[in-house]
Chain A
């Protein structure tokens, strides 16, 4: 059984560019959540996908968007990058249900210059 994987591990972009981050969920999981962790802070919820539909969104602007595919893998897209978007982006997968544990990937570290 493989765990949650994310790609790429590191990324450098310039302000105004667009970026796509990828996440492969753990086998058997149908829910993927994305979090942004700024340096020295706790992770902040961006949005969640359940069976290819968005199932809740945090306080992030529309330039943060996502997709979930039939195999439950997911993408996070960020348009018009800003300096403050520099952070560790974490993906977590889980089975549906509030009591189910969210399993986190290693993250993608994004630096916006």
Chain B
């Protein structure tokens, strides 16, 4: 079965520091990968997605992620953290083509230290 694993349920970084949220996937076929953000008491907002085009994907709010097949990873980064980045981040994968079921990781809560 296809899945994603997010390493670190909680990550804290100082304002202005690098943000790195880790996601590894397991899939027997080339995956489509997504990062979503969830602010408190809200739904999910798409940050970026990888659909087998460029391996370095740029998203909204200064986030980007790099697809590395050799490492089965799709880590999310942002060069400089902002207080408004504090939220829950979910990595997700689609591999069941024809049925666009998203399989989510367990999430990483990002805290920004002033």
Contact = CB atoms under 8 A, between A and B. Distances in A.
Contacts of A35: 102, 104
Given A90-B44, A103-B46, 12 more contacts: A35-B104, A40-B107, A42-B90, A42-B107, A48-B100, A58-B101, A92-B102, A98-B51, A98-B97, A101-B46, A106-B42, A107-B42
A104 B49 contact: no
Contacts of A24: none
Contacts of A73: none
B99 interface: yes
A43 B90 CA distance: 9
A38 B102 CA distance: 16
B105 A31 contact: no
Contact of B32 (A33, A56, A94, A99): A99
B43 A101 contact: no
Interface residues of A, number: 28
A56 B45 contact: no
A104 B106 contact: no
A31 B100 contact: yes
21 contacts: A33-B101, A35-B102, A42-B90, A42-B105, A42-B106, A43-B90, A43-B102, A43-B104, A44-B104, A45-B101, A48-B99, A56-B101, A90-B43, A94-B100, A99-B32, A102-B46, A102-B100, A105-B43, A106-B42, A106-B43, A107-B43
Given A41-B106, A42-B106, A43-B104, A98 B46 contact: no
Contacts of B34: 101
A33 B92 CA distance: 14
B12 interface: no
Contacts of A103: 46
B105 A101 contact: no
B7 to A, nearest CB: 14
